[in-house]
Structure 1
């Protein structure tokens, strides 16, 4: 299918979803949930095979990498602050990564999920491009991983403000690390609401979590299977 057509179609549906979600004040009406629903509805009505749509969406898929790299800008701007807290940042993200993997395994056990579901769920707390790589390398299903990543990101960004309020968390560093670690790119987008410093810490946490999860995944997955 024509890449240009699919790109315009997808972007148009995303803008429509974003417009609708700004008019409807309901947590589950999130662009990342609503856009896929609109895409499924559209390609079904137009009788477009899913494989053809995915083939035409390769440009958008390849742009995921550069989009993540672009988050390096705020990190560079606040490099001096990051150097000051490097030890705390690494320990926080390491613990968060372990908790994310172990909790994913716990959820898989509770719901008695099959092995490929378990493997696909483990990297749910890191950004999509890295999560897809981890899933594919360890025998998971990247398409399933994307679903888990989106759900995790949306839930994390929705729950975070209540958690911050409940525990009276004021620190931009704490907010940023929590959002980047638990809700990756969606959380980093949420961190923008708290300021540039929070966004910087969130970005760093997201990147570090991805690297650490890639390493830990190879250690934990054989133990879980």
Structure 2
């Protein structure tokens, strides 16, 4: 990871410094530690999502930091989840993408999850249905549809991540999406989108014209 630029990351340094000032004993160097974390991970968001072992190495084992930052990340994710539950999810694309990137962008294993929506595109549930290796996750259409029927969902948003690389869909991703879309149609369900999340952002099949 390259060192952060002075202008773009001033706010990140300030945010992390303020948090570190609250959780570390007096007499330390919160700003210096914040800059070290940003040099290693790049952004404040990446710091919050960092692996505990990697984070511990950068902060030299300061347990307060290693414990507190993941808790703050989880609190932020729960806040975003609450917000996307409050209305039509399809009309809140930016909020949805921000939520999915917060949840998945730094995961080291590939996972497949589904957002189940009612007929008004309100979120019923967000569930992980499969988790695999660093570059492959088995997807079982029967399990997806069974869960949708049990939850009385009308619409689905498929989501998976590409750990450590770009979020562009592969041929396999496109084929799998079309298969799920066909099965869903037979059952009276609608696949509204498939979002792929990577370290470089996220790709929406709907916005890319693939659905």
Whether TM-score is above 0.5 comes out as no
> How high is the TM-score relative to the length of structure 2?
0.31
* Max Rg structure: 2
The structure in which a higher percent of residues are strand is: 2
> How high is the TM-score relative to the length of structure 1?
0.30
